[in-house]
Structure 1
Amino acid sequence: MRADRIIAHRGCSLLRPENTRSAFIHTQELGIRWVETDVNRLGDGTLVVFHDDHLGRLTPADGRLAEVNWSTAKDLDVGSHFGAEFSDERMMTLRDTLALLHELNLGLNLEVKVYAHYRAEDVVPDIIAALEDEWHDWERLIISSFNPQVLRLLHQARPTWSLGLLFEKIPDDWQSLAAEVQPVSVHCHYAWLRQPQVDAIKAQGLEIYCYTVNDRKAGIMLWDMGVDGVITDNPNLFAGL
């Protein structure tokens, strides 16, 4: 298996503020060996680990992520929305996050966000550069994206890297994109997954990972179907399995 049976979504985001240093450290403390996190882009091109296009849900600021530069973003509180004790948490750059995950010996499912105000071409070269500088265990990295152009560009530039097709609901023509980018895995929302899809994906020699599984019974059902791993906000739900 390329990844793991249990992957911490944004660094176990029901237990710590998502995509933060404390979330990644807590993931390692729980004994979980893989995290999923998001790479996004600021207005000055800085790559940061942040899920949303807008600042309001996770910081005290308003506006779009693309409207701020790193000089401003680095001071934004990204922890207090979760709890006052996390008020010291700050947004992390992709490079700092990669270095931390290396220190923690965690595998990574890196989801590349591409919102409407920029293109895949704007972000992929810098992601490649950051990974080549900071990542050290290529067998424990899967890069996924809802944007197929991201996957095409990555495959063209680094054909040996491990890619994951990412969907909410797996489309009927998923195999055409798979033929283009030669992924190692398919990722989808678990609620839409059906057994024939699992069988077809496995028949192609690919692995399958499901998000965001925050129900123990659902996780067991998915493993019984042949799903390789679940991406969850709370890995404690699957303790002992």
Structure 2
Amino acid sequence: MIASRLIAHRGASLLAPENTLGAMTKTHEIGTPWVEIDVNRLGDGTLVMFHDDQLGRLTSARGRLCDQRWEDVKALDIGSHFSADYSGERIATLSQALDHIQTLGLGLNLEIKVYPEFTPEQIVFDTIKVLDTQWRDTDKLLISSFNSEVLNLLHHWRPDWQCGHLWERIPNDWAEIAEELNLVSVHCDHRYLTLEQVRQIRASGLDLYCYTVNEPERAAHLLQLGVDGIITDDPLLLGASR
């Protein structure tokens, strides 16, 4: 298993505001060894830890992420929507996030987001530059994406990096895709996972991670079936995070 059996989704986002440095700190405080975050791109090329392509859900501002510069968004409050305790939280750059995650000693599942305003090449190349500069232990890095072209680019540019494909429903040709892209893991929506798929993926030697599981009984059942890891908004759902 590459990651851990419980992975904090966007940084334990039921316990702290998603994709913030505070959420990474909370992940560490509760003893969860791996965190999943999203990397997204601003219009000026700055990479930020942010899931959506719009500002509105998490901040008081409006507008598309692709229309923003770092100077436009760096002071935005991204924590008050969660609670007053996090009112000082700000959007973090990928660079800031990587520094903080490594200082905390966490493993990282980095999901690369691709929205229509940018090409996969743009965000992949920029992400590689930041990771090459800052990330030290590639054994503790697992990169995932719903976009096959992102994973194909990573396969060609950084063939030694560990990558996994995100799917809602696992396609019938998952094994061929995994071989072509030299994947190490399959990530899927737990609601559509079948026992036969678990058996086949386990037999292939790939890791299997399920998102986003927030019910203790479901998490325990999936782990019993043989799923390697659960991506969850609440890593305390099983009563222990490791």
Q: Same fold (TM over 0.5)?
A: yes
* TM alignment of 1:160-199, pairs within 5 A: 160-199=160-199
1:63-106 alpha-carbon deviations (Å, 9 max, x no partner): 11111100111111111111122111000000110011010000
Give the counterpart letter for 1:106 in structure 2: L
Superposition misfits of 4+ residues, deviation over 2 angstroms: none
Deviation for aligned residue 1:183:
0.8
Deviation for aligned residue 1:126:
1.0
What corresponds to 2:84 in structure 1? 84
What corresponds to 2:214 in structure 1? 214
Identify the range of structure 1 (159-168 vs 80-89) with the bigger mean alpha-carbon deviation: 80-89
CA distance in 2, matches of 1:95, 1:198: 35
Deviation for aligned residue 1:11:
0.3
Any gaps of 5 or more consecutive residues in structure 1?
none
Deviation for aligned residue 1:240:
3.8
Secondary structure at the residue paired with 1:201?
Answer: helix
Secondary structure at the residue paired with 1:40?
Answer: strand
Name the TM-score, length of structure 1 as normaliser: 0.98
Any gaps of 5 or more consecutive residues in structure 2?
none
What corresponds to 1:126 in structure 2? 126
CA distance in 1, matches of 2:176, 2:151: 13
1:72 aligns with 2:72: yes
What corresponds to 1:51 in structure 2? 51
CA distance in 2, matches of 1:176, 1:119: 24
CA distance in 1, matches of 2:42, 2:23: 22
Identity of aligned residues (%): 54
CA distance in 2, matches of 1:174, 1:56: 35
Distance change >3 Å, CA 97–CA 240, structure 1 → 2: closer
CA distance in 2, matches of 1:240, 1:181: 34
What corresponds to 1:223 in structure 2? 223
CA distance in 2, matches of 1:48, 1:228: 28
What corresponds to 1:102 in structure 2? 102
Secondary structure at the residue paired with 1:236?
Answer: coil
CA distance in 1, matches of 2:185, 2:37: 16
Secondary structure at the residue paired with 2:236?
Answer: helix
What corresponds to 1:29 in structure 2? 29
Q: Is the 8 A contact 2:11 2:24 kept in 1?
A: yes
Name the TM-score, length of structure 2 as normaliser: 0.98
Deviation for aligned residue 1:139:
0.6
What corresponds to 1:61 in structure 2? 61
Secondary structure at the residue paired with 1:209?
Answer: strand
